[in-house]
Amino acid sequence: DTAVSQTPKYLVTQMGNDKSIKCEQNLGHDTMYWYKQDSKKFLKIMFSYNNKELIINETVPNRFSPKSPDKAHLNLHINSLELGDSAVYFCASGRSDLFSYNEQFFGPGTRLTVL
Amino acid sequence: SQELEQSPQSLIVQEGKNLTINCTSSKTLYGLYWYKQKYGEGLIFLMMLQKGGEEKSHEKITAKLDEKKQQSSLHITASQPSHAGIYLCGADFNAGNNRKLIWGLGTSLAVNP
């Protein structure tokens, strides 16, 4: 019954490696997001997809590449991981039509640790 | 500077006490969202305010949006250990499609039994 799910929950890897995080939502929403929450708990949007199209890209390094195979899935691939990429990454989904509420539903997060 | 300021940054209260968290915007809000994050978990939606002067309650949590739609407060009455966590406000500044939420830095709340 999980609305927004992410895998894996924890990811520990070496610098320079490439890794992916997967996200799926079963809420029928048309918009999905990736957020990064740093050690100071600051939540910052990275990307947003609406119906498989990239609509928000918040000055994220090219090493981060989101992919949306369909509107229920949004994956995040990270190349050449760096120490500063260590954070909790949250996936979220929501509706984004005109004048609708912008309530977003969050996944449980993926804690990425780069050694 | 932050578009959305939250205060206080952290709060420790004794169980049973009331508390207030504030969220102030540098510009007029289209919508203001309050979320709670339990340590190590995702964000859970609490409530959303859109109209100036609006007030909503959920159990012992009440949120208000001022008339100018630039400040919101979250008030917890008779706090309990289950209220502990990080409270984040998220702001919606536009009414169009493909909007994004701008987030405050969060308020970390601890409730001592």
CB contact under 8 A, B43 and A4: no
Of A45, A55, A103, the CB nearest to B33: A103
Chain B hits for A55, CB-CB cut-off 8 Å, are: 98
Q: What pLDDT, in 10s, does the model give residues B19-66?
A: 999 999 988 888 899 999 987 788 999 999 988 899 999 889 999 999
Integer-rounded Cα Rg, in Å, for chain A is 14
Task: Report the percentage of chain A scoring pLDDT > 70.
Answer: 93
Q: What pLDDT, in 10s, does the model give residues A26-44?
A: 999 888 999 999 887 788 8
CA distance A23 to chain B (A): 13
| A93 vs A49: CA distance, rounded Å | 9
| A8 vs A107: CA distance, rounded Å | 11
